[in-house]
Structures are given as structure tokens and as C-alpha cells.
Amino acid sequence: MIAGAGVATASWATGACTRRADPDALQFWAMGYEGDYSPHLATAFTRSTGTRVETQSLSWTEAHEKLLTAFAGESLPDVFMLPAHWVGEFAMIGALARVGDATLVDMLPGAVDLTRAGGSGYAVPWVIGTQVQYYRRDLIEQAGYPEPPADWAGWRQMGLALKRRRPDAFTILLYLNWPEALLTFAAQLGAGLLRERNTLGDFASPEFREALRFYKSLFDDGLAPRALATQIQDPVGAFAQGYFAIYPDGPSLLLDMRRRAAEIPPDNWRTAVMPTPHGPAPAPGVCQTLVVAATSRRPREAWALVRHMTSVPSGLRFQRLIGDLPARASAWRDPQLANPRLKAFADQLAHLAPTPALVEFEQIRMEVQLIAERVVRGLVDVNTATTEMNKRVDLILAKRRALVQAGRIA
């Protein structure tokens, strides 16, 4: 209780410093572009129901701690956005209101499974996305490839051919502090990251080691720059200049490509599914969901806002604005989503790899990537690294292991 008071003071000083300008408005928090462009969707809601909505856009680097601090300080907003793999954590601490099953109909297959925690629904899938390759058609055509090969071996040959033509440029941009690429390769090979009811790490498995070796080879062959996200200030500009030929990203990059069409003519880039070891393989998807806080003082209006944001017209409007793909299945019948540029996303969304619904999963992803970065920089070899990953993850999961063995959690 005292610690809570201490944290409450801290959060009052930091998180809730902006006093509500409009006490009648619903508070809505979202991250990234979804947060920046939500006011466009909220105006239609205000027009139809008369309830004002105050949107706050969080940056991804601070979102996790800001939400946890807001919960501890009892200043969560009415409605907020959560990536699906955080839903378990926030449901466990009691921050979320339960969702009735009736609200969760008409969703893309796999989207609802990503958001379940302890058998109940706590979040409504809003937008869903996955990483695909945005590739410079003109650059890879110069190396003799009309499109990137679909298998790893052919793809590597293309990369080496590109490197021979332009030794100072790179084939693909893989940030060394983002875990998406490595975890996609692991999922494609079928490497389950955890074992024993998700209480121990399984990174020494042959599949994960192969994924890590492939990941490392991309850097060793000079196909990807050894750069952190903080070092490339303008990735779209670098893509336009041809610093790298392939930019793996989600649907929201479509917005940047539209804005900077003067630098990259639309004819010069296409999308394609990420290369797989052999044949179609599952890949992790990212589902952003909307949740209502359990402490919301206006649950009826909050749920109305969630229903509005996840409706088909809102989903299509959002797709036009920022490129994000709706999780609502019936939205996909609209011709707007039959755009050829979206075909790669649709194909990949049909095979989504499951993500463990764990409290510690975000921390595990980050720590695994930190060790993978040391592998890429040659500071440690693959086998030692995977053993270290297991040790680190076992330590992170120690509390969970104790609770599972005591039968307190599933």
C-alpha cells in the first residue's frame, strides 16, 4: 500500500500531469499512427452520439510503462489500445473489463485467439497486421529478379547478387533492437520458444538455433546493416535513396509511402510475403486491440466507442487513412481491400503463428533480441547465446514457475 502510494505520487507527477481539459469527454489512448489518426474516427462518433472523445497518442517506447504506471496510479483512460500480447498481463492485474462473446463475432480467424486470457475475452481486435517485404522493384530488377524469391536459399542468392552490384548498399533493413525478424524466422521454422507450460525457455532447440544462424548470416554476408533503430533517423528516406532494397514492415508503412510518393514513385515499390524456409509457413501477427478499463466511470459510452471504432465503416476509413487492416472479417469483402498491394498481407494473415499469452513475453522478446544482437556483433557464438537465452528466460519466468507449480495460475 505504501509502495502504491509512492508509485501513485510518481505517476501523478508524470503520467496524469495533463489535467483533463474536458471532464465530460471519454479518454482514449492509442500508440503510434493509430493514436495520431484516431481523432478522425472519433469525430464521427461524437457526431452520432454527442459524447466527446479526448485522444492521446503514446509513443511505443514508453507505452508499456505508461500504462502500468497509470494503472498503479488509478488514472487509466476509459478506452485504450493494447497489442494482443499485452492483454494477458493487463487482464491479470485487473485493469480490463471483460468482453461479452457477442461483441467478438465476425472477426478474422486467429484474431480472437490472440486476445484471450484465461478463457475469457478481455479485448476487441481492432487492426491486425503482419510483417511483409516492401521491396524496390526497380533495384532488384537490375539484379535480374522480377520479385524476391519465396524461399530462403533463393532469397539469399538475390541478396548476394544485389551486394555484388552495389557493395555499399544493403538488401534488407533489420533493426538490431527490434525482435520481429528473428521471431518471424523462428516461427517459420516451427520453433516454440517456451516449454513446460511456458515456464522454461526452449531456445536451444535445433529449430531456433537454425533461425538464429540464418539471422546472423544476413548480417555476416553484408545483406543487412548492423544498425539500431536510433541510428537510422529517416528509414523511408533511406529506402528512397536505395540504401536498402527491402523494408520489412507492417501495414502502416503504406501511409508513409503515400506521403512520400514524390521521393519513391509508387511504381517503384511492391509488397511480397516474407521468404520462408520451404513453402508457406506461419508468421507472427500483430493484433492491436481495444480494451475498456475496469475503472472506467462510463462503461456504456466506452463500449459504444469501442463498437464504433471496430465497425466496418471505421475500419475501412482507417485503412484509407493509415493503411492498417481491420480485424473485422466482413470488412474484407469490400473491394477496397482487394487492392493488389494488400494481397501479401491477406496471404500472410491466413497463416498466423500463435503467441504465448504471457505477462513476461514482452520482456522475453526484448532480452532475446539483446542476446541476438551480441551474436550478430560477433561477441558470442550461437550455441553459447542460446544457452544464455535459456538461462535469462528461466530467470525471468521464475516467479511464473513458482506460481504455476503452486497451482495459483494456469
Partner 1 sequence: MFVLPVLAAIVLMLILPTLLALALSVTDYSVYALADWSNLRFVGVDNFVELFSTPLFWRALGNTAVFAILGVPMAIGASLGAALLLNSASVHWKPLWRVLLFAPYVTSVVATAVVWRFLLNTRFGLLNYALSLVGIAPVDWLGNPRLSIPAILLFVTWKVFGYNMVVFTAALSAVPQDLEEAARLDGAGRWTRFCHVTLPAIGPTVLLAAVMSVAGFLQIFTEPYVMTLGGPAQSTTTVLYFMFDQGLKWWNLGQAGAVAFVLFLLILALTFVQARMGRRHEWL
Q: Does 357 bind partner 1 (CB under 8 A)?
A: no
Shortest Å distance, C-beta 271 to partner 1: 27
Q: Which of residues 217-236 bind partner 1 (CB under 8 A)?
A: 226-231, 233
Q: Which is nearer to partner 1, 231 or 383 (CB)?
A: 231
Residue with cell string 475503472: 295
The reply to whether 377 sits near partner 1 by the rule CB under 8 A is yes
**Contact letters for partner 1, residues 148-177 (x by CB under 8 A):** ----------------------------xx
- Nearest distance, CB of residue 363 and partner 1, angstroms: 5
Work out how close the CB of 92 gets to partner 1 at its nearest, in angstroms, rounded to a whole number.
5
Q: Minimum distance from CB of 392 to partner 1 (Å)?
A: 9
Considering beta carbons, is residue 204 or 403 the nearer one to partner 1? 403
C-beta separation of 328 from 336 below 8 A: no
Give the C-alpha separation, 207 to 186, whole Å: 7
DSSP string, 308-348: HHTSHHHHHHHHHHH-PEESBGGGGGSGGGG-GGGHHHHHH
Q: How far is CA 129 from CA 152, 249, 260, in A?
A: 22, 9, 21
Crossing angle of helices 361-376 and 180-188, in 10° steps, is 100
For the CB of residue 51, give the shortest distance to partner 1 in the complex, in Å: 31
Please tell me the distance from the alpha carbon of residue 163 to that of residue 356, in angstroms, as a whole number. 37
Alpha helix locations (H) across 117-169?
Answer: 137-142, 152-165
* Residue closer to partner 1, measured from CB, 85 or 400: 400
**Toward partner 1, which CB reaches closer, 297 or 408?**
408
94 contributes a contact to partner 1 by CB under 8 A: yes
Binding flag, residue 109, partner 1 (CB under 8 A): no
Run of H or E including 23: none
Q: Stretches 115-123, 273-281, 304-312, 370-378: which one binds partner 1 (CB under 8 A)?
A: 370-378
The least distance separating partner 1 from the CB of residue 359, rounded to whole angstroms, comes to 5
Cβ nearer to partner 1, comparing 64 with 328: 64
Binder to partner 1 among 34, 89, 202, 256 (CB under 8 A)? 89
- Residue with Cβ nearer partner 1 (46 or 363): 363
Structure-block grid coordinates of residue 239: 529506402
Name the minimum Å distance from CB 357 to partner 1.
14
Least Å distance between CB 269 and partner 1? 22
379's grid cell: 561477441
350 near partner 1 (CB under 8 A)? no
Q: Which residues is 156 bridged to in the sheet?
A: none
Q: Per CB under 8 A, which region of 90-98, 153-161, 191-199, 332-340 contacts partner 1?
A: 90-98
Non-local CB neighbours of 289 within 8 Å, separated by 6+ positions: 81, 82, 83, 84, 87, 115, 123, 124, 125, 126
Between 226 and 298, name the residue whose CB sits nearer to partner 1.
Answer: 226
Query: Whole-angstrom Cα distance, residue 267 to residue 302?
Result: 42
Name beta bridge partners: 290. Answer: 81, 124
* Residue 66, CA distances (Å) to 60, 77, 91, 214, 321 in order: 10, 11, 16, 35, 26
Distance between CA 57 and CA 61 in Å, rounded? 12
Q: Which three-class secondary structure state does DSSP give residue 292?
A: strand
* Interaction residues for partner 1, span 53-72 (CB under 8 A): 61, 64-65, 68-69, 71-72
Q: Which of 248, 364, 286 is nearest to 81 (CA)?
A: 286
- At its nearest, how many Å lie between partner 1 and the CB of residue 40? 28
Q: From 23-31, 139-147, 250-258, 358-366, give the range in contact with partner 1 by CB under 8 A.
A: 358-366
Sheet with 244-249, edge to edge strand ranges: 170-172, 244-249, 132-136, 269-272
What residues between 387 and 406 interact with partner 1 by CB under 8 A? 395, 399-400, 403
317 or 374: whose CB is closer to partner 1?
Answer: 374
Is residue 18 near partner 1 by the rule CB under 8 A? no
Number of residues engaging partner 1 in binding (CB under 8 A): 38
Interface with partner 1 (CB under 8 A) = 2-3, 6-7, 61, 64-65, 68-69, 71-72, 89, 92-94, 176-177, 226-231, 233, 359-360, 362-363, 370, 373-374, 377, 379, 395, 399-400, 403, 408
